[in-house]
Amino acid sequence: MENIKQPEVIKLKIIATGDVHGAIFPYDFIENEPLNTSLAQVYTYIKEQRAVKSQDVILLDNGDFLQGQPVVYYSNYEKHDGKHICADVMNFMGYDAASVGNHDIETGHPVYDNLVKEFNFPWLAANAVHKDTGEPYFEPYTIINKRGVKIAVIGLITPSIPIWLPEVIWEGIEFKDMVETAEKWMKIVKEKEKPDLIVGLFHSGVDNSYNNRSDEVYMNENASILVAQKVPGFDIIFAGHDHQEFNMVMKNSEGQRVIILDSKNCARLAAVASIQIKKDGDKLIDKKITGLIMEMNSCEPDREMMRRYSDYIKMIKRYVAKPIAKFTRTISSRDAMFGNSAFVDLIHSIQLEETGADISFAAPLTFDSKISKGVVCIRDMFKLYKFENWLYTMKLTGQEVLDYLEYSYDCWFNTMSDKKDHLILFELDEKGNNRTAGKFYNYSSASGIDYSVDLCKPAGEKITIFGFSDGRPFKLDETYTCAINSYRGNGGGGHLTDGSHIAHEKLLERLISTTDKDLRYIIMQHIEELKVVSPKAKGNWKAIPQDFWIRGRKKDYQIMYDN
């Protein structure tokens, strides 16, 4: 009797990290304390899975690797010899592909253009194209072959980068809509490559309604689900950018099953797709896919990896421990969440001094950071200013300044009808607990002018500007110079577009000048020159009625911090 050949069953496991934000090693170089999750723990899990003989492992990353910890900042801007730490680590770990994130672009052409050459794997972003030719700036997709299974990985990046970053950082690149780009490359990949499995590696979030957007919004920041629904062909989509955890199954427009996985951030989780494929020669018979989000805190850091990079870790510890000045008092970002604060006013003072502007806008960029009295080091500057924004000087009318502040405070402060109301604008989470409705990093105050915030007035009527702090009158129809970070100056948060009603395409016309270094660097230089810093709240604005503010602050502080 003739033997009938049975179809071959192939098992694959795709492991994806994303939004690692510099959490390469199990150490927080900013807070000077150990971490229980990092890529060193992820690598332990990866090696365990690679040791399973019955399966092949594919390792992917979903962008935003190059920002967050001094370990990457140093390699981005301070270290000028040898391979970038991210290239060295990711090559060592054996990544098969990665997508480009918005914070990776934020590092600037010299950094990311060089990394393309240093990575031993393709860096993907099909919708980031050369402005002149329309051809992909990075790789649009890659093909991975495992045991006769052909896997296509298509990479996309959130297209909102021009809203957040100055053009000099992404000069020569145009960012296209994700759905349109996915349709284009899905057709090419299917016709040219004829893969058995198609994976989306998207540095873009799941909630396409974020920031009051609708499903139909063109160039949606978080379009992963939109692509899954509207572009048939994807078996698995790894989402990112939003720092959320998702493991969901949905149907596309043709009724086909799509798995969507999102692994949060900072290597706390890994997104895992387990795949079983049945093939008869070159013919695909069946495929079964399940998704899993794996916690990494139960894994020990990989010893081989820790030994390999022990000298680099010691060097970064020395770098962040370098003293730069002395503070005469302790400052905390907690204070900034409720009113005028020494924490944010230190940023304001440096921005005004650096630019000579009439007005400064700034927000607390960390929710719970403290810089203690005494010697301050480089690590403390990462607490004071988290992101690598640039400093812009822009021109705004008095009315636009007023509208900017109305928008900012409406997004953060509640409208109080009595003392029992909340000071902070809260919403309920899925468990019924209070959480801030706005984002703390979008809660922007002003310096250089004196004003009040009436907590009892409705949205759009809270702010009264009395004049400049130096005694000059403030006029709504006059034009003033404003110091503002590049994220906000490019429209990030909506303060200038939705608040001040300036068309996004007109924002660059308001730009007078920009620094050629990031704001943290500028702040650090100013503080180092001062040697002794006495931070204090300027008291140029206050919330009224004061008794409402005092009681609301006490209650909401307990909700936000004591609980």
User: Domains of the chain: which residue ranges?
Assistant: 8-316, 322-562
Q: What is the pLDDT of residues 393-428, one digit of tens each?
A: 999 999 999 999 999 999 999 999 999 999 999 998
**pLDDT at site 4:** 58
Instruction: Give domain 322-562's CATH number out of 3.40.50.2300, 3.30.70.20, 3.90.780.10, 3.20.20.140.
Output: 3.90.780.10
For 122-137, what is the mean pLDDT?
97
Q: Rounded to an integer, what distance in angstroms lies between the CA atom of residue 345 and that of residue 354?
A: 14
Cβ pair 389, 486 in contact under 8 A: yes
The contacts of residue 299 (CB under 8 Å, 6+ apart) are 41, 42, 44, 45
Cα-based torsion angle of the residue sequence 365, 367, 371, 372 in order, rounded to the nearest 10 degrees: 170
- Closest to 524 in 3D by CA, of 400, 329, 383: 383
Half-sphere exposure of 261 (CA within 13 A, CB side): 29
DSSP 8-state secondary structure symbol assigned to residue 309: T
- Residue 145's SS3 state is strand
The contacts of residue 28 (CB under 8 Å, 6+ apart) are 34, 35, 69
Enter the tokens of residue 541: 């604005």
For 208-228, what is the mean pLDDT?
79
**pLDDT at site 209:** 66
| 186: enclosing H helix or E strand | helix 178-193
Radius of gyration (Cα) for the chain, nearest Å?
25
Instruction: Give domain 8-316's CATH number out of 3.60.20.30, 3.60.21.10, 3.20.20.70, 3.60.20.10.
Output: 3.60.21.10
Strand partners, 141: 154
Beta strands in 252-306 (DSSP E): 257-263, 269-280, 283-295
- Directed axis angle between helix 85-93 and helix 109-118, to 10°? 30
**pLDDT at site 258:** 97
Q: Does pLDDT of 315 surpass 90?
A: yes
Give the percent of the chain with pLDDT over 90: 90
Flag whether the pTM goes above 0.85.
Answer: yes
Give the percent of the chain with pLDDT over 70: 97
- Residue 248 burial by Cβ neighbours in a 10 Å radius (0-12, 13-18, 19+): middle
For 94-122, what is the mean pLDDT?
97
